Amino acid sequence: MITDSEKKDLILLHGALGSRIQFEALARLLSAEFNCHLLDFDGHGSGAHVSEISIELCSNNLIDFVHQHQLEKPLVFGYSMGGYVALYAEAKNPGLLHSIVTLGTKFDWSVEIAEHEITLLNPEKIEEKLPKFAAYLATVHAPKDWKNVMIQTHGLMRRLGRNPLLTNEHFQSINIPVTLCLGSKDNMVTQEETEKVRAQIKTAQFRLLDGIPHPIQMIDSNELSRLIIAELRS
């Protein structure tokens, strides 16, 4: 049995259109192994209201969280955008983190790709055709308006499309253990783009997870907890 003083600190980072509430069940499953920390990026869930969501803003949220909670090189699990944020924060602040596990993080951004993703995130159409998903997003972001969060996410994607923040230079500067995970049924992220990043980070490895889709709410928390423990326990 690991005592609390022996447990490593683990920060769970949500993706775009997500919030910390999505990881509460996962944190409970991981609590026997890690001291789990959850946060809402600004513009999401209980995070501060902002006029614009950006990777830089979310990265600063992570850095501030580490310092405010006096965490010494915490472990990080970053889902989707959360993984991008963690890698960017470490690249800009070497040694901030101990190790990173990402899942379903999209690295290949262009104007065309961003516009394609934006067409899939139409608040009015989602409310009309996917009312259960709309209700889910309302719960995830309460008291914020999920529609506004989605519109702000459009801006984030457009900026990434015009200027992808993570470059090969950033990847090559990372010297901590990184595991890049991708579900075999992920329809947003390709194995090719993930493998390209793995090749640039000298301390990285790649994991293809059979049968796992992209949406976090469709991934079994027990399965995800086993993956995280296996990758970060050592």
pLDDT digits (tens, 9 = 90+) for 74-113: 999 999 999 999 999 999 999 999 999 999 999 999 999 9
By the 8 A CB rule, do 216 and 17 touch? no
Angle, helices 146-162 vs 131-141, to 10°: value is 90
Amino acid at 161: G
Taking the whole predicted model, whether its pTM rises above 0.85 is answered as yes
pLDDT digits (tens, 9 = 90+) for 16-40: 999 999 999 999 999 999 999 999 9
The token pair at 162 is 């015009």
Distance of CA 101 to the CA centre of its chain: 9
What's residue 15's pLDDT? 97
pLDDT digits (tens, 9 = 90+) for 160-182: 999 999 999 999 999 999 999 99
In this predicted structure, the answer to whether residue 61 has a pLDDT above a threshold of 70 is yes
What's residue 234's pLDDT? 64
The token pair at 120 is 């899939």
Banded model confidence at residue 6, pLDDT cuts 50, 70, 90:
confident
Q: Which domains does the chain have, with CATH numbers?
A: 8-107+165-232 (3.40.50.1820)
Q: What are the residues whose beta carbons fall under 8 Å from the beta carbon of 161, sequence distance 6 or more? A: 109, 110, 111, 112, 113, 114, 115
User: 87 phi and psi, to 5 degrees?
Assistant: -65, -40
